[in-house]
């Protein structure tokens, strides 16, 4: 089949509807996650699992408990049976009511004041060694530690024992159980092939659709509100941030402040400059990048073939990437597609051609050279393929999608019918207007699905393929 070619079409951006926040995840969902985690522990021969969390590395702990540390470190300690123990600092202690399990008495708690911020009161806490001992951790234990990464032998020798938790915690566990018996078990949650957080339930899909809608509508307001002479602060304010937790910091880069991860810095919006921006809530990261321009004539002379020689080619290949998405597809084939059709020397793509997303912005990725990982139902996928050129700057089609088999789609239709209908409308738009032939298991969650305007001062002119 011949490759589809890009074209530019003039459209009114579709309205797929706003999304009310779904009901909070019930305690029964967290109980299922605890049960599945214990099954993984048994497979690995673990007697205990210690799950670490802090302000940035919160996702595994929040996945199990519903509580994300706001200032301090926290630990969830699980054995093969019984009620798990969550250990928190002073300020998180009152915040434990965020956990549905805690509110129902299905999560024990202890305040360990060493987790509190510096110079807060320390008296009245047990030593962490005493806490571990009281949970049955000792010489006969095999303890798994879940931080936020695991490692391969190609990265670190003895990678099974490389653990990204504070050393005082790991040292204590090793003193109690022996070096060999304390291992990295983060893969339980984030391994792209088998990790628990790569299998999203309908409750998770509904919440992540909510955050994708929030983020995409914010990016849409930024693009349509863009005006010459305003500052990047004024532009970023159009996102209408509403307090939902962020998965990473919002970026907005333009003018001299054009580093890829830059925050607003008082730059004035000027015609002929570049612009990139993203909004990232839990389970979503919507990003667009391009030129503050109406036509190619507004671009620097060397970049005036931006559409035909850079952004258009990128869009064509991204449409092919989207059309390849299906349950059972091999992750390595996506990496091969991008490396061959968007070569590094022209498009400068240095990161994975897509990755998995969940509460945290980057869980892991099945998309890498030589990957034999098969995509499965429940995967939340971030279409995050980042080109960069000194001549052409960049372009972007970064949205969230989920793979859902017949059973998962039917569960979503029954339990969250409005979410399901919005996904169907987005599919129809992508197929019938943009020309992207999605497989039936692909559910787009963004309200600007694959909408890419090359010139931000003329946002109704967007790419499609034919």
Q: Tens digit of pLDDT for each residue in 2-40?
A: 689 999 999 999 999 999 999 999 999 999 999 999 999
Enter the tokens of residue 161.
């024992």
Cα 217 to Cα 211: distance, rounded to the nearest angstrom: 10
Domain's final residue, options 127, 156, 184: 184
CA distances in angstroms from 259 to 227, 263, 366, listed in the order given: 21, 9, 27
Decide if 389 is inside a domain: yes
pLDDT in tens, 394-446: 999 999 999 999 999 999 999 999 999 999 999 999 999 999 999 999 999 99
Decide if 241 is inside a domain: yes
276 and 217 co-located in one domain: yes
In this prediction, residue 287 carries a pLDDT of: 98
Decide if 30 is inside a domain: no
109 and 211 co-located in one domain: no
CATH of the domain at 54: 3.40.350
With a cut of 80, say whether residue 186 has pLDDT above it: yes
% the chain with pLDDT above 90: 98
Full DSSP string of 416-456 = -HHHHHHHHHHHHHHHHTS-----TTEEE--SSTT---SBT
357 and 232 co-located in one domain: yes
With a cut of 90, say whether residue 141 has pLDDT above it: yes
150 and 275 co-located in one domain: no
SS3 content of the chain, % helix, strand, coil (to 5): 35, 15, 50
The answer to whether 373 and 331 have CB atoms below 8 angstroms apart is yes
In this prediction, residue 428 carries a pLDDT of: 98
With a cut of 70, say whether residue 120 has pLDDT above it: yes
Domain's final residue, options 184, 210, 234: 184
pLDDT in tens, 56-108: 999 999 999 999 999 899 999 999 999 999 999 999 999 999 999 999 999 99
Domain residue limits at 237: 6-18+197-465
Count: domains in the chain: 2
% the chain with pLDDT above 70: 100
In this prediction, residue 376 carries a pLDDT of: 98
With a cut of 80, say whether residue 235 has pLDDT above it: yes
CA neighbor of 448 nearest in space, from 21, 20, 12, 22: 12
The answer to whether 163 and 185 have CB atoms below 8 angstroms apart is no
In this prediction, residue 252 carries a pLDDT of: 97
With a cut of 90, say whether residue 312 has pLDDT above it: yes
In this prediction, residue 1 carries a pLDDT of: 53
pLDDT in tens, 237-273: 999 999 999 999 999 999 999 988 999 999 999 999 9
Enter the tokens of residue 193.
């092939």
Average predicted confidence (pLDDT) for the chain? 97
The pTM (predicted TM-score) of the whole model is 0.97
The answer to whether 198 and 376 have CB atoms below 8 angstroms apart is yes
CATH of the domain at 459: 3.90.230.10
Beta-carbon contacts of 267 under 8 Å, excluding residues fewer than 6 positions away, are 231, 232, 254, 255, 256, 257
167 and 222 co-located in one domain: no
């Amino acid at each position: 089949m011949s490759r589809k070619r890009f074209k530019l079409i003039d459209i009114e951006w579709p309205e797929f509807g706003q999304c009310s926040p779904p009901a909070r995840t019930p305690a029964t969902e967290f109980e299922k996650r605890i049960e599945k985690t214990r099954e993984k522990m048994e497979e690995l021969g673990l007697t205990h699992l210690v799950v670490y969390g802090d302000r940035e590395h919160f996702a595994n702990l929040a996945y199990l408990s519903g509580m994300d540390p706001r200032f301090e470190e926290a630990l969830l300690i699980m054995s093969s049976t019984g009620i798990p123990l969550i250990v928190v600092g002073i300020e998180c202690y009152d915040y434990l009511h965020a956990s549905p399990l805690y509110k129902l008495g299905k999560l024990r708690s202890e305040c360990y004041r060493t987790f509190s911020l510096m110079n807060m009161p320390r008296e009245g806490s047990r030593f962490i060694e005493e806490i571990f001992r009281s949970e049955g951790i000792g010489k006969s234990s095999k303890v798994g530690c879940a931080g936020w990464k695991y490692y391969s032998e190609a990265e670190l020798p003895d990678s099974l024992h490389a653990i990204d938790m504070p050393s005082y915690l790991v040292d204590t566990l090793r003193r109690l159980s022996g070096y060999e018996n304390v291992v990295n078990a983060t893969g339980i949650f984030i391994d792209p092939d088998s990790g628990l957080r790569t299998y999203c339930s309908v409750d998770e899909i509904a919440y992540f659709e909510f955050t994708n809608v929030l983020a995409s509508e914010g990016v849409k307001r930024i693009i349509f509100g863009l005006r010459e002479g305003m500052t990047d602060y004024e532009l970023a304010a159009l996102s209408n941030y509403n307090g939902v937790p962020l998965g990473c910091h919002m970026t907005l880069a333009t003018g001299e402040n054009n580093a890829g991860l830059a925050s607003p810095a008082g730059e004035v919006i000027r015609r002929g400059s570049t612009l990139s921006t993203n909004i990232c809530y839990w389970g979503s990261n919507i990003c667009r990048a391009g030129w503050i321009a109406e036509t190619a004539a507004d671009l620097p002379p060397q970049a005036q073939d931006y559409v035909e020689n850079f952004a258009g080619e990128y869009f064509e290949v991204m449409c092919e990437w989207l059309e390849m998405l299906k349950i059972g597809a091999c992750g390595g084939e996506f990496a091969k597609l991008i490396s061959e059709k968007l070569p590094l020397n022209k498009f400068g793509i240095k990161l994975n051609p897509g990755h998995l997303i969940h509460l945290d912005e980057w869980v892991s990725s099945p998309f890498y050279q030589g990957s034999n990982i098969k995509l499965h139902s429940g995967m939340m996928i971030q279409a995050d393929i980042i080109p960069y050129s000194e001549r052409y700057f960049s372009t972007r089609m970064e949205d969230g999608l989920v793979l859902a088999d017949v059973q998962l789609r039917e569960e979503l239709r029954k339990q969250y019918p409005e979410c399901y209908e919005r996904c169907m409308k987005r599919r129809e738009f992508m197929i019938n207007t943009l020309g992207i032939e999605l497989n039936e298991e692909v559910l787009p969650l963004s309200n600007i699905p694959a909408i890419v305007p090359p010139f931000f001062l003329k946002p109704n002119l967007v790419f499609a393929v034919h």
